[in-house]
């Protein structure tokens, strides 16, 4: 008998159980999702460490749990063949194949990575969700069965669906109580979800239109027009693409940060001619190592330079106390970096950058970037940042306005470097210049302080030996 416990949940003391994906008697395989937990930063499925049969549920939906708390018990099976509902004769793998064969009409985000989420601020969702009301089965009363296992609906009719299908239903926002299963015994299959999603996409918009993200009645007493909700299909072919979990979470938080924080962006350029030559030299040396050395990127060098500037200007490494009475200066330097993934933007965090060598930072960047793309970042790896870097240098651009990631007070945007003629006092010489865009919270940082921070940072990038000062 194996007891499944709450894994590492990062900086949180407790997190709520928002879904239970199995019932007593269910057969599960290794890595099958069992329970869904949700913090202010991300939702995560707790996978089964063994193959077997669920014997006892030790929590219910709405319970708050901490690391190490038992969730359920699984009686291990003699073999690892538990790939589906034997009664239905259709495995999760077959569901996945059927879903792929259906043509992907409603852009479903990959389930494996949809659980990873943007590294959001400590108050990202306005505090922990209130424990939902539950019915006798542990499902949210009156709420769609987003995947609670063999649950009773409003009429206590059972819902038969595999963990794969239940997870897809949550991502698509489909109420399983409204889906008619075409599998054996009424089991809901992936093709049934596709049919339900297609029907929802083709359904006419409700009268008056649904509330849009920008809906508001007034701003500062000025009345606003209703958010436009035209029927786009009347104009030509359309396709409805469901937003991934990451994009949904980031949208609400970016909107809040943009509205609540008075942003100012300061643009500047740094001469990185010598720094780029140093980077190439180090990479050439690392390539000769038998075990394969770390690849040094400009972002790793930027992080070390930023730490020097953050130490010189501690207000930039702070947070505004709720109520605005004081600043919390942080004496640690955990730097986040924006990582582009197939499901949206996430921000992994490299901890204690000030205590690490440049090559150690480079290794951390490579490791966390890989985890981000695979959707395998843990909550701890996306929390605790004090300052963030968002680099578009690999794509292009000359400047942009990154949005401050509350409760931080600053974020550095970086775009593509370019050779430019620079006057050295007697002649124009070619120098490699990188554009930098610093967005900051104007309640904490004034324009002069931001300009001085950028001057210090540019000087440090021009001569990285200043990091030693």
Task: Give the C-alpha distances (Å, rounded to integers) separating 78 from 2, 47, 51, 52, 92.
Answer: 13, 19, 9, 8, 20
Q: Which residues are catalytic?
A: 442
Q: What is the CA radius of gyration of the chain?
A: 26
């Amino acid at each position: 008998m194996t007891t499944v416990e709450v894994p590492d949940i990062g900086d949180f003391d407790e997190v709520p159980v928002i879904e239970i994906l199995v019932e007593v008697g269910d057969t599960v395989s290794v890595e099958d999702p069992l329970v869904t937990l949700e913090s202010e930063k991300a939702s995560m499925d707790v996978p089964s460490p063994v193959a077997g049969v669920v014997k006892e549920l030790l929590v219910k939906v709405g319970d708050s749990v901490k690391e190490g708390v038992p969730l359920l018990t699984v009686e291990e099976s003699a073999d690892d063949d538990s790939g589906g509902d034997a009664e239905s004769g259709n495995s999760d793998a077959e569901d996945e194949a059927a879903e792929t064969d259906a043509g992907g009409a409603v852009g479903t985000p990959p389930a494996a990575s949809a659980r990873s989420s943007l590294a959001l601020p400590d108050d990202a969702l306005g505090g922990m969700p209130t424990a939902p009301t539950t019915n006798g089965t542990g499902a949210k009363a009156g709420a769609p069965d987003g995947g609670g296992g063999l649950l009773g609906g409003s009429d206590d009719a059972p819902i038969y669906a595999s963990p794969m299908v239940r997870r897809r239903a949550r991502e698509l926002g489909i109420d399983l109580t409204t889906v008619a299963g075409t599998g054996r015994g009424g089991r809901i299959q992936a093709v049934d979800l596709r049919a339900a999603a297609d029907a929802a996409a083709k359904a006419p918009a409700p009268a008056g239109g649904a509330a849009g993200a920008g809906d508001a009645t007034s701003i500062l007493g000025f009345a606003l027009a209703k958010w436009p909700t035209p029927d786009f299909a009347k104009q030509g072919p359309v396709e409805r693409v469901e937003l991934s979990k990451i994009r949904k979470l980031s949208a609400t938080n970016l909107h809040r940060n943009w509205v609540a924080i008075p942003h100012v962006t300061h643009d500047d350029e740094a001469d990185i001619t010598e720094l780029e030559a140093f980077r190439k030299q180090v990479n050439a040396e690392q390539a000769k190592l038998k075990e394969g050395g770390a690849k040094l990127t400009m972002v790793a060098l930027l992080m070390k330079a930023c730490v020097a500037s953050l130490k010189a200007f501690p207000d930039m490494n702070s947070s505004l106390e709720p109520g605005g009475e004081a600043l919390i200066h942080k004496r640690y330097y955990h730097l986040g970096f924006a990582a582009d993934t197939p499901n949206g933007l996430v921000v992994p965090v490299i901890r204690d950058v000030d205590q690490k060598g440049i090559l150690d930072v480079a290794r951390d960047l490579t490791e966390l970037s890989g985890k981000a793309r695979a959707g395998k970042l843990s909550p701890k790896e996306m929390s605790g940042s004090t300052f963030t870097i968002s680099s578009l240098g690999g794509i292009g651009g000359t400047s942009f306005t990154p949005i401050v990631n509350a409760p931080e007070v600053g974020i550095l945007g970086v775009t593509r470097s370019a050779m430019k003629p620079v006057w050295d006092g007697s002649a124009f010489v070619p120098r490699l210049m990188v554009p930098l865009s610093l967005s900051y919270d104007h309640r904490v940082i004034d324009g002069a302080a931001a300009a001085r921070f950028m001057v210090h940072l540019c000087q440090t990038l021009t001569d990285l030996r200043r990091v030693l000062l």
